[in-house]
């Protein structure tokens, strides 16, 4: 199977691509799959008719396993929370999150009630960081719930699972996007970005003016001008939209 087989070309193509994705994963191992295009919402991935893929394709049918109906579970799953801080595949169980490169943010994440909140005793997880700050994920848990160590499966399959997951989730997102929330081809100046970066860490206009050796009025002008370009209604939304478009970030 080529990777193009799991890409979605239209809404009508979602079901076919989902089945191709499921079958490609099954060829790698006996995995149960939890997949979401957006971990910030309870809305499950669905085909053109509205049928939930977790139900009709991936097999989560018993009420206790219908994770997409539980808003708290969707928001508090340790695996979903870890995807907010990690961009590469990892595997996890109640003992920790295991990555190829140490991530200090994952050390502090709670793993209490891991099995209940994750619906797996252990799973390989593939985060998918999309444009505009959206995060998708796929979790692959082995059918044998007595298995807690997936280090061997991770080394053998993580890269291939990532190669399958990314085109499926990204293409699904493209064909199902509902409306345009951000302006097209927005370009901010260097000064506007500098001011917004400091605003994002909580600095006031007066503090930013001191840091950048500019007048209070100049700082206010740059932030207001950036807000107009981003079609934002206030300072908070200006910072939020600038972050969604990658103009500012807190990584460094």
Is residue 62 over pLDDT 70?
A: no
The pLDDT assigned to 226 comes to 92
Per residue in 144-193, pLDDT (tens digit) is 878 899 999 999 999 999 999 999 999 999 999 877 677 777 899 999 99
- State both tokens at 106: 């994952």
Out of 6-10, 38-42, 150-154, 225-229, pick the least confident: 38-42
Mean pLDDT, the chain, rounded, equals: 88
Nearest Cα residue to 16 out of 173, 127, 172: 172
The pLDDT assigned to 131 comes to 85
The pLDDT assigned to 134 comes to 87
The pLDDT assigned to 66 comes to 64
The bridge status of strand 31-36 relative to strand 90-93 is: unpaired
CA 91, chain centre distance (Å): 16
> Three-state secondary structure along 69-125?
HCHHHHHHCHHHHHHCCCCCCEEEECCEEECCCCCHHHHCCCCCCHHHHHCCCEEEE
Per residue in 196-219, pLDDT (tens digit) is 999 999 999 999 999 999 999 999
Each as own residue / partner, the long-range contacts of residues 97-103 (CB below 8 Å, 24 or more positions apart, any chain) are: 98/151, 98/154
Is residue 95 over pLDDT 70?
A: yes
Contact at 8 Å (CB) between 53 and 18?
A: yes
* Domains of the chain (ranges, CATH numbers): 3-176 (3.30.450.80), 190-244 (1.10.10.10)
Nearest Cα residue to 189 out of 232, 154, 159, 226: 226
The pLDDT assigned to 47 comes to 95
Backbone φ and ψ for 31, nearest 5 degrees, come out as: -105, 140
The pLDDT assigned to 65 comes to 59
Nearest Cα residue to 129 out of 175, 82, 97, 176: 82
Chain position carrying tokens 């893929």: 53
Q: For the CA atoms of 110, 112, 117, 118, what is the dihedral angle to 10 degrees?
A: 70
């Amino acid at each position: 199977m080529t990777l193009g087989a799991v890409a979605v070309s239209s809404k009508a193509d979602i079901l076919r691509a989902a089945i191709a994705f499921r079958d490609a994963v099954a060829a790698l191992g006996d995995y149960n799959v939890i997949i979401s295009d957006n971990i910030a919402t309870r809305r499950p991935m669905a085909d053109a008719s509205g049928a939930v893929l977790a139900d009709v394709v991936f097999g989560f049918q018993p009420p206790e396993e219908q994770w997409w109906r539980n808003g708290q579970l969707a928001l508090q799953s340790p695996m979903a929370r870890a995807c907010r801080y990690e961009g590469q595949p990892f595997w996890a169980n109640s003992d920790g999150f295991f990555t190829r490169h140490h991530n200090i943010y994952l050390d502090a994440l709670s793993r209490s009630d891991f099995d209940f909140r994750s619906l797996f005793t252990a799973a390989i997880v593939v985060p998918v960081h999309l444009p505009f700050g959206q995060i998708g994920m796929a979790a692959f848990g082995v059918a044998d719930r007595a298995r807690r160590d997936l280090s061997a499966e991770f080394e053998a399959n993580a890269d291939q699972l990532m190669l399958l997951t990314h085109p499926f989730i990204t293409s699904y997102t493209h064909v199902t996007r509902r409306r345009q929330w951000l302006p097209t081809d927005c370009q901010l100046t260097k000064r506007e970005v500098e001011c917004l970066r400091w605003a994002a860490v909580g600095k006031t206009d007066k503090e930013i003016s001191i840091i950048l050796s500019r007048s209070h009025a100049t700082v206010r002008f740059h932030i207001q001008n950036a807000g107009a370009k981003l079609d934002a209604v206030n300072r908070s939304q200006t910072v939020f939209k600038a972050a969604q478009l990658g103009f500012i970030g807190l990584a460094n």
